[in-house]
Structure formats: structure tokens, C-alpha cells
Amino acid sequence: MQPTDSIYVAGHRGLVGSALCRELRRKGYTNIITRTHRELDLCNQQAVNAFFASQRPDHVFLAAAKVGGIHANDTHPARFIFQNLAIATNVIDAAHRHGVRKLLFLGSSCIYPKLADQPIKEEYLLTSALEPTNEAYAIAKIAGLKMCEFYNQEYGTTYWSAMPTNLYGPGDNFDLETSHVLPAMIRKFHEAKLDGHRPVTLWGTGSPRREFLHVDDLARACVHLLELRDMAPRLVNIGCGKDLTIRELAHMVQSCVGHEGEIFWDTTKPDGTPRKLLDISTIRGLGWKPTIDLEEGIMRVYQEYARQ
């Protein structure tokens, strides 16, 4: 990519998209194209094709998606599969039709089987059943990455698929109905601290293990992949290579927030996948590694949240 190339960041106001915009500007890219949902509905094929025909971006980062935690995925599976399938289908096909040189499709580690061997290698995709609570989202993301793979195969395109682990960072979603586990914990512990350090109740047993990556590290990885020269695109895991239990995470967040009350675990609620740790040997072999420590990253996010 050249500094003056036009780069469309789909989903630029989301957690990942905003981080991509920050990283691109940090690296000196000056021609970044963005559109809000009001300006461009990515589920509308005609609108997406018209946008690509008029703007002709050189490169695309496809970070737009309908996302949420266990509760949101379990409650609205039809919305999750429809919107994510539509976004992937419309953007990837329009990119091909209108001469986009490079594209990066953002997925999620939930594409992998529920009981995959750990750490999870890219080749474990589609080897056994998915986690039921986010199956709709996962199937849509699998379709998107396979679309990239098959367009590369048939049309000779250069479309990468990046599968990040659980993400957190600036601009995260703190809505308890739709947020992921880490921002939800930050909000719950913060509000409990303000309410006299009352007890906090969290879902599940606390035993599942999860890996967390700061979104700024992910953005560096994504830009790095599209900057690679003469490299065949592929599916690439992006994570930090370390995990911890949800219970350990809860105590880390509680410490960062300064909450001094008790923690109760509602074991009637689902745990989700027992463990999700990504094998990141591929991305490390391509010259990238994470830089932001989890506790340091949580503290940064909490300080911003508390100020707001």
C-alpha cells in the first residue's frame, strides 16, 4: 500500500474500525474513506455497488459487522446470520467487481469448533461442531472467509481473512445487553463501586478460559498483513498467545476498577466454549507480535470509561 492509496474502512465507528483508522493515520495513510450506516447500508447490495463504483477504493478493511456477547447472539440468531452474511457478500463481491487490489476480512475466533484442540490452529476450521450460543454469527463469518478464499482461487484476488481473539480497547461497547464479557465486567464493577462496593453477579462458573487482545494490537496486525509484498493471502489467527480463566479475569478487572465487594457466580447461565486460545505462529512468522499487556490495557480502558 502507498501513502496516497484510497483505503475504505467499513465499520469505521466500531471498536475495530476506529482502531484501524487510528493505525492507518499513524502510519501516514492520508486517503481514508469512511461511511456511516446512515450514509451507506452495507446490507443493501445496490447501494454497496454504487458506492464502490463511485469511490473505487484501492484497498478495503471489512470491519463492519453485527456483534454482541452470548446473550445477544442467543436472543437474535436470525439477525446475526442475515446481517453478517449480507455485509460480507455485498462488500467482497463489490470489491472484486470494482477492482479493489487488496482486502482484509475480519472474522472471529468463534468460527472454530467448540471442542477444538488447544491452541487452535487455522487448519482446525470446519473439523467439528460449533458453539451453539454463537453459531449464527460464526456461520456468517465462515461464509465470508470462504468467499475470500474462493474469490482468490477463481479470480486471483488478494483477499486476506484475519480471525482475532476476544478484543477490547478504546470505544468498546458497554451496553450490558449487547457487550462482550470484558467491557461488561468493567461497567458492572464500576457501578457497584459507586454504589458502596455492593456485590457483583457474573454469568456462569468462571471456569472457561479466554484470550484477550487490545484492539490497537489487532489494528497493527491487519495493516501489517496488507503491507506484505508478494505474499499469498490466507486465513490468519491474531491473538496474544496467552489465556486466563473468566474468574481470573474478573479479579483482574475488579482490581483495576478498585471494587472491594464480593463476586457471585450465577451458574444457571451458560459458560460458552470451555477454552479458546489461538495458535498465532502464522502471524508471528509474518513479522508481527502483540505489545500491550492485558492488565495495562484494562487499566487504560477503565480510566477512559470512568472519565466519560
Residues labelled catalytic: 137
Angle among Cα 225, 227, 230 to the nearest 5 degrees reads: 90
Amino acid sitting at position 50:
A
Closest by CA to 213, choosing from 174, 244, 178, 250, is 244
Distance CA 105, CA 61 (A): 6
Q: Would you say 180 is a known binding-site residue?
A: yes
Q: Would you say 9 is a known binding-site residue?
A: no
Omega cis (within 30) before 119: yes
By CB atoms closer than 10 A (0-12, 13-18, 19+), residue 185 is buried
**Distances, alpha carbon 261 to alpha carbons 181, 205, 258, in Å:** 19, 18, 9
Q: Would you say 297 is a known binding-site residue?
A: no
Q: Would you say 59 is a known binding-site residue?
A: no
Q: Would you say 16 is a known binding-site residue?
A: yes
Q: Would you say 158 is a known binding-site residue?
A: no
Q: Would you say 226 is a known binding-site residue?
A: no
Q: Would you say 160 is a known binding-site residue?
A: no
Helix (H, G, I), strand (E, B) or coil at 103: strand
Q: Would you say 233 is a known binding-site residue?
A: no
Q: Would you say 161 is a known binding-site residue?
A: no
Output the nine-digit C-alpha cell for 94. Answer: 463489490
Q: Would you say 197 is a known binding-site residue?
A: no
Q: Would you say 41 is a known binding-site residue?
A: no
Backbone CA torsion sign across 142, 147, 148, 149: positive
Distance CA 91, CA 282 (A): 26
Binding positions for substrate: 188, 203, 210, 271
- Which residue positions form the known binding site? 11-17, 106-109, 141, 164-167, 180, 188, 203, 210, 271
- Binding-site residues for NADP(+) sit at 11-17, 106-109, 141, 164-167, 180
